[in-house]
Structure 1
Amino acid sequence: MEVHQLVHTLNYGDAISGEALAIQRMLRAEGIGGSIISIHAHEKVRDKVVRWAGSAADRQRLEALSRKDAVILHYSIASPLNDLYRGLQQTTRAIIYHNLTPTRWFRGYNDRVVRDLEKGIAELPELVRDSDIVLADSTFNLQELQSRGATGGSVLPLMLDEEKWAAERPNEGIRALLSGNDDVHWLHVGRLAPNKCIEDIIRAFYFYHHKINRRSRLWLVGIDIDTELYAFELRRLISRLQLREAVSFVGAVADCELRAFYENCSLYMCMSEHEGFCLPLLEAMHFGLPVVAFNACAVGETVGDGGVLVEDKQPAELAELANAILTNGEIKHELIERGKQRARAFGGEHFRSIFRERVLSALMRADEPQHPEATNAHRWA
């Protein structure tokens, strides 16, 4: 048996890519071979993938697979790999739905992204219908599938990779920069995308910085590829609010640098209004950062009781809340401990257990003879 994974782009530090790599490690530990097949790959993980060029040789290799073999599609965008997945009817097919951001968030910022999302939404019903196993990484994502007519399916949460983080030594330069004074450091990690509503973090930080504590800084860690216009708007807002010396756009960072940010910042703030999971929330809690997050989509499901969930984004109130957390040792300590406990619930052992129960066992059973009425259990009505 072989299990191959289809990932449009295997990135360094990306949540979906991290899950694909974790699954590959687990499969190999079980003695099961297979590749991660990608169209694009970051240079740091290029040796982990088989690049898909759509050549005759590529197709012949996959067409040789049988019902005893499986293909897992990580679905988050329209991709030529989706057509490949549909054509592999001789294999057992599993889809993991990582969510598609509603197009309204990107209108006016990037027409190509809007078209890709529209195509992704249109392709989703057929892909689910053709799948033997349907998975989503949150209940929110699974309910979204079901609201579109899917039946069946189960949740495979994203994994907090404690082993990866334990192996990374925090960057000394960033550690020294953040810990060398008594300044308060707010942190947000994630792509600079409109659905993240980073402008709401900036507005809250404006009140905190100008009205409560001038010795404070906001760090925005993440790329703005395909969202350059939105990032320009954020920079213009920062200038208008006289925060240019207090807000830093960090861009992409290595894991050792990200660990240094997590370990040495004071507070993690998330005001996103559309998330299918939001792994940085777990990472922040794992490293002992108090978390304040807007309760939207899958955010509340991920945070649980490990952070403070807010229903309103009034900037002055968010600033006061942040100050209350940071200046009350008892509250801060309780949040840190609850956050660490919450993060442990998504650790590697838990993920491996769920993967074996909900995915691997199903893949093992898939090549067994079935009654006609038992096939294609996950249908699109």
Structure 2
Amino acid sequence: MRIIQMLPTFAYGDAIGNDTLSLQDTLRNAGYETEIYADVIDAKLGKNAAKQAEDYEYRDGDIIFYHLSTGSDLNYKITEYPCKRIVMYHNITPPEFFRGYSAGAEKACADGLRATKYLASKTDLCIVDSAYNGQDLIEMGYNCPMEVLPILIAFDDYKKEPDRKIIKQYDDGWVNIVFTGRVAPNKCPEDIIAAFYYYKKYIQPKSRLFLVGRYDGTPSYKAQLDAYVRKLDLADVYFTGHVRFDEILAYYHIADVFVCMSEHEGFCVPLVEAMYFKVPIIAYDSSAVGDTLGGSGLLLKDKSPQVAAEAMNLAVTNKALREQLITGQQRRLEDFEHDKIKKKFLEIIQSFLAGDAR
């Protein structure tokens, strides 16, 4: 018996790619035979990290563990093999977020949702990153067994040396507001910009906003954001674009508050990263954000600029609240410890296999 992890795109450094590698290590250390197959394999992962999906040859007893996150022919190909299927659903962004900005992204999301519905009757077990994702599947017709298992996050990587140039340049007493993640329509950076405008103009002039993440996937959307910043005549807004990992670490080190106004997340790894670096979190209560925070952080029901800005100010200046937020986030962080998630993952696999045996 082999457990074959499959995914459309095996990317270097992204949450799903890291999760796939961590699950492989967990399975191998537990004595399971396992391999990774993907349609697209990032060269930065190395030539032995995975095999091409088209080269997969079914063996009797194989179990396919499929990471579902986008549109792909592989979503349908996996049903051609006479084996048990475990689907790990990372959620798919509603395509309407990309309408008018990226026809390719809109199509990939629409195709992914169609495939997700197609797989409902062809899946033996679902593993979801969050309860929100589980509800998403239930609404799409899934009635197979379902388990919630957060993404395995490579916390050891966060202990690496941050970029000292960034820290030296910006750790200077100004308030640094940070968001990390793709600059994409579903993440609503325009709402962070609006809140920052209010914060900088009416509360703290000595403040900066860093939107740390790539924006090359939706250039027209980025142009719209640039125009918005110009219209506001707003200084000290920094779009970093794609950055090195040590630079990402540096932005967390200088952050005074982490702000997320996203309207669609299946899990949102940056929230956990902010917990790790003891940065107080202000986040809009949407999709899986509340699940991931698990009662920690400061969750907003209202994303108006004034409300968000005043919340940011409290998180920065109110020492008691700041300590309360960080303490709560540290407690929540314990739920994402590697050993806990690995143990639960192996229990899920063992239970699934025992069910097969019965």
TM-score clears 0.5: yes
1:66 matched residue in structure 2: 60
**Structure 1 residue 48 displacement after superposition:** 5.2
1:88 matched residue in structure 2: 81
- Equivalent of 2:150 in 150, 157, 177: 157
After TM superposition, the structure 1 = structure 2 runs for residues 155-304 of structure 1, keeping only pairs within 5 Å, are 155-166=148-159, 168-179=160-171, 181-243=172-234, 245-304=235-294
1:25 matched residue in structure 2: 25
> Structure 1: how far apart are the matches of 2:223 and 2:167?
28
**Structure 1 residue 102 displacement after superposition:** 1.0
1:2 matched residue in structure 2: 2
2:134 matched residue in structure 1: 142
> Structure 2: how far apart are the matches of 1:279 and 1:146?
23
Native 8 Å contact 2:4 2:35 kept in 1: yes
Deviations 1:120-161 (A, max 9, x none): 111112323222221111111101111122113121111333
**Cα distance change of structure 1 residues 175 and 44 upon mapping to structure 2, 3 Å threshold:** farther
**Structure 1 residue 256 displacement after superposition:** 2.1
Give 5+ residue unaligned stretches, structure 2.
none
> Structure 2: how far apart are the matches of 1:159 and 1:296?
22
1:374 matched residue in structure 2: none
Identity %: 34
Q: 3-state DSSP class of the match of 2:34? A: coil
> Structure 2: how far apart are the matches of 1:337 and 1:259?
21
Native 8 Å contact 1:185 1:219 kept in 2: yes
> Structure 1: how far apart are the matches of 2:309 and 2:167?
25
Deviations 1:168-213 (A, max 9, x none): 222222222232x101100111111111111000000011112221
Give 5+ residue unaligned stretches, structure 1.
371-381
> Structure 1: how far apart are the matches of 2:240 and 2:287?
26
Number of equivalenced pairs: 357
TM-score of the pair, normalised by structure 1: 0.89
Higher RCO structure, 1 or 2 (CA under 8 Å, sep 6+): 1
> Structure 2: how far apart are the matches of 1:310 and 1:48?
45
The root-mean-square deviation of aligned C-alpha atoms, in Å, is 1.7
Residue 117 of structure 1 aligns with an amino acid whose one-letter code is C
After TM superposition, the structure 1 = structure 2 runs for residues 28-67 of structure 1, keeping only pairs within 5 Å, are 28-47=28-47, 49-52=49-52, 54=54, 58=55, 61-63=56-58, 65-67=59-61
Native 8 Å contact 1:37 1:49 kept in 2: no
**Structure 1 residue 300 displacement after superposition:** 0.7
Q: 3-state DSSP class of the match of 1:275? A: coil
> Structure 2: how far apart are the matches of 1:132 and 1:66?
17
**Structure 1 residue 366 displacement after superposition:** 5.7
> Structure 1: how far apart are the matches of 2:211 and 2:203?
20
TM-score of the pair, normalised by structure 2: 0.95
Native 8 Å contact 1:92 1:366 kept in 2: no
Q: 3-state DSSP class of the match of 1:37? A: strand
> Structure 1: how far apart are the matches of 2:233 and 2:176?
17
Residue 149 of structure 1 aligns with an amino acid whose one-letter code is G
> Structure 1: how far apart are the matches of 2:168 and 2:47?
33
Q: 3-state DSSP class of the match of 2:169? A: helix
Native 8 Å contact 2:41 2:52 kept in 1: no
1:373 matched residue in structure 2: none
**Structure 1 residue 305 displacement after superposition:** 2.2
Q: 3-state DSSP class of the match of 1:35? A: strand
Q: 3-state DSSP class of the match of 2:86? A: strand
- Equivalent of 2:98 in 95, 106, 116: 106
- Equivalent of 2:319 in 312, 321, 329: 329
**Cα distance change of structure 1 residues 225 and 73 upon mapping to structure 2, 3 Å threshold:** farther
> Structure 1: how far apart are the matches of 2:47 and 2:247?
22
**Cα distance change of structure 1 residues 22 and 230 upon mapping to structure 2, 3 Å threshold:** same
2:114 matched residue in structure 1: 122
**Cα distance change of structure 1 residues 42 and 178 upon mapping to structure 2, 3 Å threshold:** farther
